[in-house]
Structure 1
């Protein structure tokens, strides 16, 4: 007599040698079943999975995910990060919400999670890495608090590798943007190039954060407080705009108003700014670079001006490690100006050793 098992999830996978295999799971996100379909081993494996599934709710991964969403660790994240995490946690719960916490200690658990990540990575490796890192963070949080016995998702490596060694704004890109992009977006470009700050922090910057000499802000992503001396070109642009805006606003309103605004003088939403910026770049003929690339471009410009890594870090808010990584791996390795500067310094040293 043939036994019909409910909820079996059948997954095809292509191996490195090109052959195709089929794996069977007790349900979507459930444990992989042993043996061939219909065999006693297969049925015993299925029954064992069902038995483990009948664990009280507190013993399931779902409970840890929901506790994390109510934790100060999650609530202290930036708004955008919380939205991203929430989206990924919902997806994790759909796939692994009924995963028994006790099974996290099983040596095979890591393989199950990595296969899940790799399956997502077939179509979107960057999203696969992000989702897996969210799960790893939640499990690390849970282990620290005694809510989970182990974190099998530690140090997984990455599927996605960015190839953005040329992704810096060139002087030509900058000139083209100023000449062809809408005027109300010019200051956003200048602020990014002279401060090296993230888009979200610049959109949130108010006039209260600028005293005529320095910009003070708290980075949302790191909670790091930054004080940036304002260079002359940027100061002239800010002072001119402040004078213009103050003639239409009282001092109280001005201090709480954002510096960067839409053409109608309203504060930007992140989505609205992103859309307008993309259209402006297309109109200016600026391609293959993003607003985020301005942060690395600022690091590069400061280095070319002779700034040390600690000096750059105090301006942009990067750690020293991140500054050096940017300079080494992404930007300066391809910049001929830096090579020219190095040779000029060497010539000066050789010709005038004293």
Structure 2
């Protein structure tokens, strides 16, 4: 959607070394904008900077609906971790549709426009497309409820991604690249290692199989040097898991300082917000596509089985059903006939089958 950005102020200045530089400001006397002019980032920066102005532009448009939504309990009442994911989606929605009027949103044809936008994103990132659409639907429900639009164009929209990702895992190569980076034949970095706080999160996830929220709250008191104890927020189950030698070696080498939680940000503080954004950027820099933090739970299943744990033991710790755990193993750990036979023999012993 090509739209003139109302109020953007342009200033040209002669440089001491010759030549002329052009600077853009969100409004006359306002903050200088740092993004490349007319880029997607420039639009996003403009929307963010003008959002809280008393005379904010694009009244009666998507920009106003979003401004009012962000001030409402529908948004402020969300958990901080949920808002973080929403903010990522809202930025994309604002950038694409900020100048779309209430009349245009309500009119026939808007649904097609929104669905085409989602489908373009879904070509590479189906789960991201579903997130964007989910948040957009909520914003439009808010607009309809506040009588800002006359029709909700996105009722009964189905997801484009498979809702089940139990069988998606990080490969050994993914893990190595994230932890250690990758160099070319001349020894130059193709991909730099992820920051240590994020590597720590990776290690904790692949060796415990726990959900992101539970890991971010996990304290050092829960780790006694041999096992980790926690109560899963989703299932309510109390879980004590033995720590692998690799995870023990890693955790024992982490400088604790005054930190209470095992996972901390770059400043050594618990992650209040920012983890999802930092993780996403690190995964993109590592050029790992189609994998999420949640997929590390499936990765744990394969690692645990590789290290001799039974399917029942894995399910008890991770919160998967035994059927789901076995499904993950069958798809990703069938590297030899011995692995197949191992699963089938265990199943036969459980059911009493022979032969």
- How high is the TM-score relative to the length of structure 1? 0.51
The one-character-per-residue Cα deviations of 1:222-250 (angstroms, maximum 9, x if unpaired) are 8x8775413143798289739x857xx6x
Match of 1:24 in 2: none
Counterparts in 2 of 1:245 and 1:198: CA distance versus 1, 3 Å: same
Match of 1:229 in 2: 240
Counterparts in 2 of 1:262 and 1:72: CA distance versus 1, 3 Å: closer
Match of 2:73 in 1: 72
What CA distance in whole angstroms lies between the structure 1 residues aligned with 2:142 and 2:289?
41
Partner secondary structure for residue 230 of structure 1: strand
Match of 1:193 in 2: 206
1:168 to 162, 167, 170: 170
| Map 1:248-327 → 2, pairs under 5 A | 253=258, 256-260=259-263, 270=275, 293-301=295-303, 305-307=309-311, 312=315, 315-316=317-318
What CA distance in whole angstroms lies between the structure 2 residues aligned with 1:172 and 1:121?
22
Match of 2:154 in 1: 153
The one-character-per-residue Cα deviations of 1:83-133 (angstroms, maximum 9, x if unpaired) are 31331242254252x1228x63x5544224323434666787665544333
Residue ranges of structure 2 left out of the alignment (5+ in a row): 4-57, 183-192
Task: Name the one with the larger helix percent.
Answer: 1
8 Å Cα contact 1:217-1:227 kept in structure 2: yes
Match of 2:6 in 1: none
Q: Which of structures 1 and 2 has the bigger CA Rg?
A: 1
Match of 1:100 in 2: 103
Match of 1:50 in 2: none
Match of 2:333 in 1: 335
What CA distance in whole angstroms lies between the structure 1 residues aligned with 2:238 and 2:247?
18
What CA distance in whole angstroms lies between the structure 2 residues aligned with 1:274 and 1:124?
13
What CA distance in whole angstroms lies between the structure 2 residues aligned with 1:347 and 1:324?
14
Residue ranges of structure 1 left out of the alignment (5+ in a row): 1-6, 8-55
Shift of 1:134: 2.0
2:252 to 236, 241, 246: 241
Counterparts in 2 of 1:300 and 1:139: CA distance versus 1, 3 Å: farther
Shift of 1:61: 4.3
Match of 2:95 in 1: 91
Shift of 1:317: 6.2
- How high is the TM-score relative to the length of structure 2? 0.51
What CA distance in whole angstroms lies between the structure 2 residues aligned with 1:287 and 1:113?
24
8 Å Cα contact 1:192-1:294 kept in structure 2: yes
8 Å Cα contact 1:196-1:299 kept in structure 2: yes
Counterparts in 2 of 1:302 and 1:146: CA distance versus 1, 3 Å: farther
Partner secondary structure for residue 115 of structure 1: helix
What CA distance in whole angstroms lies between the structure 2 residues aligned with 1:245 and 1:297?
26
Aligned pairs, how many? 271
What CA distance in whole angstroms lies between the structure 2 residues aligned with 1:68 and 1:204?
29
What CA distance in whole angstroms lies between the structure 2 residues aligned with 1:278 and 1:119?
19
8 Å Cα contact 1:194-1:234 kept in structure 2: no
Match of 2:353 in 1: 350
Residue 111 (structure 1) aligned with residue 112 (structure 2): yes
Partner secondary structure for residue 257 of structure 1: coil
